Amino acid sequence: MKCFFKKKYGYSEKESKSIIKKVSISNEELIQNRMKFYKEYFNLTNKQLSDLILSFPALLGYGEKYIIEKNDFLIKALNLTNNQVTTLLTSVPSLFGLKNQVIEEKISSLKQILNLKDNELSKVILQRPQLLTLNSERATQKLNLLQDSLNFPDDKLDKAKMKLGVLLGRNNDSILKNIQFYKKNLTLSEDKLIKILISNPNLLNFSQDYILDKIEFLKNILKISNKEVILIFNSFPSIIYGNKESIKDKIEFLKNLFNISIDQLKDFVIKHSKILGYDKEKLILKIENFSKIGLNKETILENPILLSAPSDKIVLRYAIGSANNLSINDFIKYNLFIISEDKLYAKLKFLKDPSNAKWLSRSESDFSKHFLTSGDSLIKIYPLTSEMKINLIENFENKNKNDNNEKN
């Protein structure tokens, strides 16, 4: 048997011994057939198959009928696709050795502990498949640890449980060390750290060496200080996930797109760090659409928050504002491009006077308290139809043409 695994599948002698100790069958032909079945049924590469059997040799003891039924059960219980079940198999193969009743109990427990709805469950489990191997007591303890170490208020913890679920399989000491690391090296307050971790809980999964290396990389490539790196990290913590080559490429792209120096780009990125995560084609489209309404690249550089607007909504939203006597300066001052067109139209119809433009950018709660109505209520009173959207854009474009003709 040892020679069989070594010659047939390329395992080392030590690996072959390890597999043989845990395999419940010795028929070489049957093992070959089951290896072939796993590869074809789950569409595995040779490497995936090799790693799978090495990590959980007991799989070779399960018959094809059992595996097919388990696959169908997981698809139904977790609302997964076949490819997603393959992800579970390669991540936590021991799951296939659990009884369906045990899996159902774990699913029910996770939903309760993490406040998950049915449609949220599969997303969390695919992010961290090992959650299905945790018992409910350990999961609860991990959440309590996170709450205590970060002074999480109960209301924030309840809202964050779904995202924090990806941390439940982590070692407690590792989590605590990383929390202290972020507080010390990035000078983050607990409130700021809570906010960042709710949005990016996977940050606690990175090693400290990895984080320090990424900080040094950003300092060198953008010619910035440690304090400035922290400003970028606070504004756009997802930068930590970025591949170094991709970040280098994006920096060169931005320099060429705006025709600016590295010093100018540094200031630009510090003002609006999320630009490092924007898609290149969408950035180009945003600039083209801003140009259509009279905003040039220099204005965008001075007001980089404008780039947070959806690329395909810029012209329509400005057309709505223009038709209601708002100026381009109003849009820049109050960043009105980020307001949905339906809400922008309804609120403008309600407010009537363009001097009230400041209220368009206020929070919904502030708006509701002041005017005793909500944006959603106004949308029902002043609906913006598809035909109206088309007409607004056509009228805006015609007005632009007439204005240009008069200038010429």
Q: What percent of the chain has pLDDT over 70?
A: 95
What per-residue confidence (pLDDT) applies to 407?
A: 65
Mean pLDDT for the stretch of residues 361-375: 93
Instruction: Decide: helix, strand or coil at residue 206.
Output: coil
Q: What are phi and psi of 233, to 5 degrees?
A: -65, -40
The pLDDT-based confidence of 130 (bands split at 50, 70, 90) is: confident
Q: Is the pLDDT of residue 171 over 80?
A: no
Q: What percent of the chain has pLDDT over 90?
A: 48
Mean pLDDT for the stretch of residues 277-291: 94
Q: Is the pLDDT of residue 80 over 70?
A: yes
Mean pLDDT for the stretch of residues 96-114: 87
The pLDDT-based confidence of 170 (bands split at 50, 70, 90) is: confident
The pLDDT-based confidence of 7 (bands split at 50, 70, 90) is: low
Exposure b/e, 363-392, CB count within 10 A at least 16 = b:
eeeebeeebeebbeebbeeeebeeeebeeb
In whole angstroms, give the CA distance from residue 251 to residue 86.
Answer: 37
Give the CA dihedral 102, 106, 108, 110, nearest 10 degrees.
180
292 exposed, middle or buried (CB, 10 Å; 0-12, 13-18, 19+)? middle
Report the range of poorest mean pLDDT among 27-31, 130-134, 324-328: 130-134
What per-residue confidence (pLDDT) applies to 138?
A: 74
Mean pLDDT for the stretch of residues 234-261: 90
First to last CA, the chain: 88
13 exposed, middle or buried (CB, 10 Å; 0-12, 13-18, 19+)? exposed
Query: Domain residues of the chain, as ranges?
Result: 308-408
Report the range of poorest mean pLDDT among 18-32, 62-76, 192-206, 301-315: 192-206
The pLDDT-based confidence of 154 (bands split at 50, 70, 90) is: confident
Q: Is the pLDDT of residue 162 over 70?
A: no
Q: Tell me the pTM.
A: 0.64
Q: SS3 letters for 266-325? A: HHHHHHCHHHHHCCHHHHHHHHHHHHHCCCCHHHHHHCHHHHHCCCCCHHHHHHHHHHCC
Q: Is the pLDDT of residue 193 over 70?
A: yes
Name the helix (H) or strand (E) containing 222: helix 208-222
In whole angstroms, give the CA distance from residue 228 to residue 222.
Answer: 10
Q: Is the pLDDT of residue 75 over 60?
A: yes
What distances in angstroms separate CA 211 from CA 51, 101, 201, 362, one per listed residue?
28, 41, 14, 36
